[in-house]
Amino acid sequence: MSHEKIWIMSYQEYSGLRKLRLASLFASISMLLVYVSILLGYTTLLNLITLIISFGFSGASAIALLLLVIAGVLPFIGVGIGLFSTFEMLFGFNDLSSNMEEARTGRWGVIFFLVGVILFAIYPIGVILLYVHVGAGLGIAIGGIVTGSVIIILGIILIGIGYHRVGIKYNENTVNVGGIITTILPFVGFIITYVGLGYLLRKPPFNQYQPYQYQPLIPPQQQPQARQPSSPLPIYQTGPVAVIKPDGTVSFTVFSYQPAQLVSATIEGTNYSTGSISPNFVQPNQPTNVTVSFGQVQLQQGSQYKIIMTAMVNGSPLQFPVIANT
């Protein structure tokens, strides 16, 4: 009899981790553009202010103005990519927050980051206004870039903590370390979390989830069924009645209308339960042959038993019976 610890993982968690991984990729691209814009904007603004103070606006070089315009255009591109990554990250942390409260830290970080990006977008407006009114343009440009940068940094720190806690939750050190680095070097940290989440999603049980389009199909009529429920369940036993072998293994066929993760099995009326199920993932709309191993069992020969299977279907636990003879 097996008493191993069972890790229940919902499709919502899988979806949330995928969104966070995609968000990390686009966040790193957005951060790169923002860094270039900040560096170019600060240096060019300082040079431009020096020239204006010394020689007036007419003394500003054309190259300095061109660089300032380029620095003003880059944030538009970065903001566009950043907004996509921000909302994708927000949805990802939202999906995870239902199972782990620590994900709320990352969600708040995303909100701060979004506010900072919006304020940072004021900076290009100030650059454009330089051609209309120098003082107002410089004030708006400097105010947008400074205020936006501070709030963005605060948001990134909270996001990094969120990723760090996700790494701890799912025991993936690359995500753990990537979250810490994100708080210091966001561009590098987002790349590391992207790689780490890729490692995580390639591990079981995450790698058993497949994208699909749900269509409620009816099983083929010629498919014999062990038991047809009076109220059809989204997952049930089909095919011949199963047999419990002396070594405690039971093989049977399962049909599911939705992707399902088989979590545990218990022989009703006994103390025999297990999480040793292969495969533990059932694809939708097709029969799946499943083998459950209870280890050595002592059951009355020639009797019929009901095995209670627990599955995660669409993020919710569900139980269905499997009929087996000894």
Give the highest mean pLDDT range of 110-124, 163-177, 229-243. 163-177
Which residues form the domain of 52?
11-208
pLDDT above 90 for 62? no
Per-residue model confidence (pLDDT) at position 101? 78
- Same structural domain for residues 201 and 244? no
157 band by pLDDT with thresholds 50, 70 and 90: very high
Confidence at residue 8, expressed as pLDDT on a 0 to 100 scale? 44
**Residue of 252, 275, 262, 251 lying closest to 313 (CA atoms):** 262
**Both 160 and 263 in a single domain?**
no
CATH at residue 248 = 2.60.40.10
The answer, yes or no, to whether the previous bond of 224 is cis (omega within 30 of 0) is no
109 with 74, same domain?
Answer: yes
Q: Is residue 137 part of a domain?
A: yes
Burial class of residue 283 (count of CB atoms within 10 Å of its CB; 0-12, 13-18, 19+): middle
Within-domain flag for 83 = yes
Does residue 65 fall inside a structural domain? yes
* Residue scoring higher pLDDT (79 or 225): 79
Given the DSSP bridges, would you call strands 260-267 and 277-278 parallel, antiparallel or unpaired? unpaired
Q: Which residue has the higher pLDDT, 60 or 125?
A: 125
The total domain count for the chain is: 2
b (16+ CB within 10 A) / e for 26-42: bbbbbbbbbeebbebbe
Boundary (domain end) residue, out of 208, 226, 247: 208
Same domain, 72 and 114: yes
Contact between 302 and 253 under an 8 Å Cβ cutoff? The reply is: no
Read off the pLDDT of residues 266-293 as tens digits, 9 standing for 90 and up.
Answer: 898 888 888 888 888 888 888 889 999 9
- Say whether both 110 and 197 belong to one domain: yes
Determine the Cα–Cα distance for residues 103 and 165; give it in Å rounded to an integer: 7
The overall average pLDDT reported for the chain is 77
Name the 3-class secondary structure at 40. Answer: helix
Per residue in 159-216, pLDDT (tens digit) is 999 999 999 888 889 999 999 999 998 889 999 999 999 988 887 655 544 443 334 4
Tokens of 227: 């038991």
Clarify whether residues 18 and 67 are in a common domain: yes
- Establish if 82 belongs to a structural domain: yes
